[in-house]
Structure 1
Amino acid sequence: MEKESAIRGMLEATTLIVSIMVAMVMVSWVWTKMVKTLWLNPKRLERVLREQGLQANPYKFWVGDLKEIMKMQEETSSKPMISLSHDLCPRLFPFPLHMLHKYGKNSFLWYGPTPRLIITSPELFKDVLNKSYNFTKGRLNPLMNYVAPGIVRYDGDKWAKHRKIISPPFALDKLKTMTETFFQSCNDMIREWEKMLSSSNGTWCEMDVWPSLKNMTQDVISRAAFGSSFEEGKQIFHLLSDQSQLVVKHLQRYHIPFWSFVHGKDLWKIKEIDRIVTDLVKRIIKKEEKAMKEEGEVIKKDLLGILLESNQKEIDQVQGNHNINKNVGLSMNEVIDECKFFYFGGQATIASLLAFTMVLLGKHTDWQARAREEVLQAFVDQKPNFDGLSHLKIVTMILYEVLRLYPPVAWQDRLAAKDMKLGDLLVPAGVQIFMPTLMLHHDEDLWGSDAKEFKPERFSEGISKAGKGNSPAAFLPFGWGARTCMGKNFSLLEAKMALSLILQNFWFELSPSYCHAPIIQLTLQPQHGLHLILHKLE
């Protein structure tokens, strides 16, 4: 008995010793990894960049420049702009602008432990975007996986596969069939505005149109993406909107030490919304797949139906070639992510474009009158159609100028996947490239001394001749190269439909209560709404 007890004691002691040793090895491994990730690697990258003449603040363990970035951002967003100025860079990018003023164009900043090289040259923008296999989306902030799902976060061959399958829904011939969908949602918004006018004095009223624009663009993408299931789609997109607001709240704070423990409740809510949305989208997909099997074809020509049809064709084609690769087509989870991408790509960006178009036309009523005259000549009081919308020259010039001054996506990031040459610089693997599209669009060297003024006439001969140097790479609201936004034509067609219907029915001006305070919340948005005085067109 005593012998068994001694043996048991020895076993327990051995187990304890082994457990302690394993724990020590694990702690040592974690510590080594943390030291490498949070100190050794950042210092190595800093040395390589500084040896090439690039300058920045000294690296601060773990947080880098994040505290200063957040402090400056909070200061600028805490108060509106003094006047209706289009000089947005000091408000939206105060810290990068501070670094450029302090160190010159060859500078970088620290986003946590990651160095971000700031580039402002259109040639370098173009070079980075053309080399999409080498300058990748990289390791996104995990929170961005919730608001930038699907193809937008993929790289390399996976991106190419998704692009091939997802492109068909956005082809021009498919968009023609969606013109009626755009009209229905936009017309519903017009009818709501007419009701508000009637409940006022019947001829004019003051209102904040920003909620209406967001609701309308949500309605459009719900109908376009899910067809007859658009009511379920609206529920999904409302949830995604709530989720994106939570993500924005914490996005920059992600690299702050122990942030996730402090804000665990919001993180739980973000994940719970994601679970609910996934279940809802899966239900709609299964319903559409069932209809496809029963009918043998896609009856509803919505984005989801066309996507499923394109996906099935890809699977059938590969199987027909007897390809043994099982990784063909999109999985259920990948289709779900692409449906979420429809929302972020097709709602928030268009709402932003329409909002700032109305701001600028509410201020520059001469251009509003010119656009209205063009719309009335094209359609009189008839329903706008695809061909007519495609030939609106003045409206297109206005939209391009709004996209230049107020790009919905104000910057892009890329990561050097390996050591890369960029101009005269050697960019080591692991360095991020920060590309502020807004700065490029406002650069006086590229656009002239009137770069920060609203002048749609600069686009009278198209994009290629709009800038001072006739460089189309200086205008990048939809990206560049192979990764140019697939939804470009979708966005412009919807914006033209909405603007045409508004101009057919109303004229508007900025309200004295309008507070000019653009802010980035994933996309560029009016922080305090969009207050207009809306007049019924005589």
Structure 2
Amino acid sequence: MVELGNIVVGSISYVLIFVVYKVWVSIWWRPKKMERQLKRQGVKGTPYKLLHGDLKESSEALAQACSSAMPISHSHSIAARAMPYVHRTVQKYGPCTGGAGSESSPRITGQGQGGDYLCPAGKVTYFWAGVTPRIIVADQEMLKDILSNKSGDFPKPDTNPLTKLLVTGFATYNGEKWAKHKKIIQPAFHFDKLKVMFHSIHGSCSDMIKRWEKLEESNASFEIDVWPEFLKLTGDIISKTGFGSNFEDGRRIFQILKELSDLAIQTFQSVYIPGFKFIPTKRNTRMKKLEKEFRDSIMEKINKRVGQSHNEDLLGMLLESNSEFQKLENSKNAGMTITDIIDECKLFYIAGHETTSSLLTWTIVLLSYYPEWQARARDEVLQVFNSGSKLDFDALNHLKIVTMILNEVMRVYPPVILLLRNSHKEMRVGKITLPAGVQIGLPILLVHHDRELWGDDVDEFKPERFAGGVSNATNNQPCYFPFSWGPRGCIGQSYAMLEAKLAVAMILLNFSFELSPTYVHAPSSTLVLYPQHGAHITFHKL
């Protein structure tokens, strides 16, 4: 009996020692090893702090940045407010002592005054997202290697399982599953399909214009916070074009996603502990309940389509394309499962909602601040549509000035300011060897405001940069990627631009506008770049 007891005690001791060893490796040995690998290559970053890394400092920097507004001016250097800890880390540690960035990056000429920018001699640095180093890469050679990679060497990160309750679907997949879903989904965004959606988008924009016209007072001017208005507009559009319903019918779905996104942001700001999702905390329970309610709602919509031929919205097109794929592969198991389709529907709602709302909001803010560009855009719209003739899909392609403006808005105020990738194995990228297990941050906002790439007027709003198109403005380099870049570029880019062009054109046809005296300039970022205190605009009926 004593011998058996000794064996049990010995076994327990061995297990405890093994667990302690694994914990020590994951929270200290491995992070310090990656830190040494990066330092040896001349890459600087914040010192590793046990377990939490820089999460506390990052949260404090964000809270401090959000505690005060900034003046709106001709210099739109917003990185210190929108992504304060990344900006601070790059400013402090950006210049390398060797490795990447030893050669000059391609330069886009320009004149004027600018704000803070990355040193051209060192565009790689890092800080700690818990126990994982997040390497901030703004070097053009490295960006091209990462964004153009077709072998799946830089997959989307494995997110906290709780955040997957919010963001799943095609954009989060890797490897064969990503390739299959792309093949099935892509037909829904073909040119001819967008043409079908045009009338629904036009109808939603018309409803918004009519609603605004009712707000007119006797002096024919009124004030609107356009951020919630555009959220409602894009919500109505994605409901119609996605599911054949409207914003009011889909209100509960948007409420679910809003609450889920708020809860997901809380999880982003904390260290993930394996197995934590199974603990029935108040937040965990609420997120799972909301996610189930969303799935039940979408499942109800799918069930209504069974046996129907309805391909005038994204859900119908997706079901049709999935069926065609199964026929082509001669297997019902070859396409997407019902769970996959529900996940793609969730992605439709999220990707087609706040990102376009952000683009529209900052476009109206900047056109309010730059009345000369507002006038030029309105003149173009009036000329293209002959002072009120019918708006149609093909005519939107002739809005060159409006397109220039939208491109420059996305350069200065990109809806998504950072992309994340993983390095699941040791990889040579540019002149740096990235350790396995690091997270890679591609700072869209910093690259878009890089003086070495865009010139001394980098922080100024100058739509003429894009007079010759995006390719000409960037010399075909990944220095402009609001919709990502390369094979993983946003599949819904044409859809978003159609929506934005039409909404802006209809607003310009009906109103002139300016910043309200109550407007407070406070660009902030959670899932997208948004105005922290709203975007109050004064409109005048034309």
Same topology, TM > 0.5? yes
Secondary structure (helix, strand or coil) at the match of 1:60 reads coil
CA contact (8 A) 1:465 1:472 kept: no
Secondary structure (helix, strand or coil) at the match of 1:135 reads coil
Which stretches in structure 1 are left out of the alignment for 5+ residues?
1-9, 292-297
Which residue does the alignment assign to 2:99? none
How far the C-alpha of 1:471 sits from its partner, in A, is: 4.1
Which residue does the alignment assign to 2:415? 408
How far the C-alpha of 1:243 sits from its partner, in A, is: 1.3
Which aligned pairs between 1:68-217 and structure 2 lie closer than 5 A? 68-84=57-73, 85-103=75-93, 104=95, 105=122, 106-132=124-150, 133-197=152-216, 200-217=217-234
CA contact (8 A) 1:203 1:536 kept: yes
Aligned-CA RMSD value: 2.4
Determine if the alignment matches structure 1 residue 315 to structure 2 residue 315: no
| Larger Cα-atom Rg | 1
Which residue does the alignment assign to 1:475? 480
Q: Distance in 2 between matches of 1:179 and 1:486?
A: 17
Which residue does the alignment assign to 2:286? 269
Which residue does the alignment assign to 1:7? none
CA contact (8 A) 1:254 1:260 kept: no
How far the C-alpha of 1:237 sits from its partner, in A, is: 2.4
Q: Distance in 2 between matches of 1:152 and 1:477?
A: 15
CA contact (8 A) 2:483 2:490 kept: yes
Which residue does the alignment assign to 1:399? 406
1:47–1:232 Cα change, 3 Å: same
Determine if the alignment matches structure 1 residue 376 to structure 2 residue 382: yes
Which residue does the alignment assign to 1:33? 22
Q: Distance in 1 between matches of 2:396 and 2:347?
A: 26
Which residue does the alignment assign to 1:220? 237
Greater helix percent: which structure?
A: 1
Identity %: 43
Q: How many residues align?
A: 511
Determine if the alignment matches structure 1 residue 426 to structure 2 residue 447: no
Tell me the amino acid that sits aligned with residue 80 of structure 2. P
Which aligned pairs between 1:271-350 and structure 2 lie closer than 5 A? 271-291=288-308, 298-319=309-330, 327-350=333-356
Deviations 1:443-465 (A, max 9, x none): 11111111101110111111122
Deviations 1:193-218 (A, max 9, x none): 00111xx2251012212111100100
CA contact (8 A) 1:416 1:432 kept: yes
1:347–1:56 Cα change, 3 Å: same
If the length of structure 1 is used for normalisation, what is the TM-score?
0.90
Q: Distance in 2 between matches of 1:22 and 1:232?
A: 60
Tell me the amino acid that sits aligned with residue 337 of structure 2. S
Which residue does the alignment assign to 2:529? 524
Q: Which is further off, 376-385 or 57-66? A: 376-385
Q: Distance in 2 between matches of 1:476 and 1:498?
A: 22
1:259–1:158 Cα change, 3 Å: closer
CA contact (8 A) 2:157 2:420 kept: no
Q: Distance in 2 between matches of 1:162 and 1:258?
A: 29
CA contact (8 A) 1:407 1:477 kept: yes
Tell me the amino acid that sits aligned with residue 111 of structure 1. A
Q: Distance in 1 between matches of 2:9 and 2:208?
A: 66
CA contact (8 A) 1:63 1:257 kept: no
Q: Distance in 2 between matches of 1:155 and 1:428?
A: 20
How far the C-alpha of 1:41 sits from its partner, in A, is: 1.3
How far the C-alpha of 1:42 sits from its partner, in A, is: 0.9
Determine if the alignment matches structure 1 residue 52 to structure 2 residue 41: yes
CA contact (8 A) 1:38 1:113 kept: yes
Q: Distance in 2 between matches of 1:390 and 1:147?
A: 35
Tell me the amino acid that sits aligned with residue 398 of structure 1. I
1:502–1:229 Cα change, 3 Å: closer
How far the C-alpha of 1:231 sits from its partner, in A, is: 5.1
Which residue does the alignment assign to 1:294? none
1:310–1:57 Cα change, 3 Å: same
How far the C-alpha of 1:177 sits from its partner, in A, is: 0.5
CA contact (8 A) 1:226 1:233 kept: no
If the length of structure 2 is used for normalisation, what is the TM-score?
0.89
Deviations 1:173-205 (A, max 9, x none): 1000000010111111111100111xx225101
Q: Distance in 2 between matches of 1:269 and 1:290?
A: 35
Q: Distance in 1 between matches of 2:395 and 2:514?
A: 26
Q: Distance in 2 between matches of 1:290 and 1:18?
A: 64
Determine if the alignment matches structure 1 residue 63 to structure 2 residue 43: no
1:206–1:33 Cα change, 3 Å: same
Q: Distance in 1 between matches of 2:460 and 2:27?
A: 43
How far the C-alpha of 1:139 sits from its partner, in A, is: 1.6
2:502 aligned to which of 476, 491, 497? 497
CA contact (8 A) 2:365 2:535 kept: yes
Tell me the amino acid that sits aligned with residue 344 of structure 2. E
Tell me the amino acid that sits aligned with residue 206 of structure 1. E
CA contact (8 A) 1:137 1:415 kept: yes
How far the C-alpha of 1:83 sits from its partner, in A, is: 3.2
How far the C-alpha of 1:246 sits from its partner, in A, is: 2.2
CA contact (8 A) 2:235 2:247 kept: no
